[in-house]
A and B are shown apart, each in its own frame.
Chain A
Amino acid sequence: DVKVTQSSRYLVKRTGEKVFLECVQDMDHENMFWYRQDPGLGLRLIYFSYDVKMKEKGDIPEGYSVSREKKERFSLILESASTNQTSMYLCASCPSGVGNYGYTFGSGTRLTVV
């Protein structure tokens, strides 16, 4: 069964900490995405990547960075965590022909910044 795996389901971090959220997919997908999900706002795109070492800003990149050194792994980095980054973070991947297949999502990481 194909999978997108996020390293943590629940995470509690302190304000100012550097936080790493990891996402690994085993489907050889070219495209990977990081979203955050907040009540009433739906999924908002933070960053995405079309290929190794490639990254593109999404709608809300401020306060975040990403890294994609290998095709299967896409990391989201909160440089200095703040309380307004408390959210559910979802990773997704898709092949280049996304119109046929859609996204495969990870199970999410619920991050709380205190």
Chain B
Amino acid sequence: KNEVEQSPQNLTAQEGEFITINCSYSVGISALHWLQQHPGGGIVSLFMLSSGKKKHGRLIATINIQEKHSSLHITASHPRDSAVYICAVLHGGNQFYFGTGTSLTVIP
């Protein structure tokens, strides 16, 4: 059983489309981390949030603590957004629990 579930597992979109990736978790958390992993392996941090909403460029992350749910939105998607997007939750201490990722492909 995984404490963090992401949907969809795979997503293909046309360039310009609005994209939503979902993350649900089953434990109490103090923070949620959205990460991006490009082919080749390196993982970069997109957002850390514990409430509400954050925006950076074309990326928006929201979290609903009561519903134990977070979404990552990408507006005006572009082929360079193609990557695996990973949700991780901080549940006690300094250790994150990771979802298995959503693989996004944006077609020109």
Chain A positions within 8 Å of B, measured between CB atoms, are 9, 31, 33, 37, 40-43, 45, 48, 50, 88, 90, 92, 94, 96, 98-108, 110
Contact = CB atoms under 8 A, between A and B. Distances in A.
Given A101-B48, A103-B45, A108-B41, A31 B94 contact: yes
Given A48-B95, A103-B96, A42 B50 contact: no
A42 B31 contact: no
Interface residues of B, number: 23
A98 B43 contact: no
A98 to B, nearest CB: 5
Contacts of B100: 40-42
Interface string B58-97: 0000000000000000000000000000101010001110
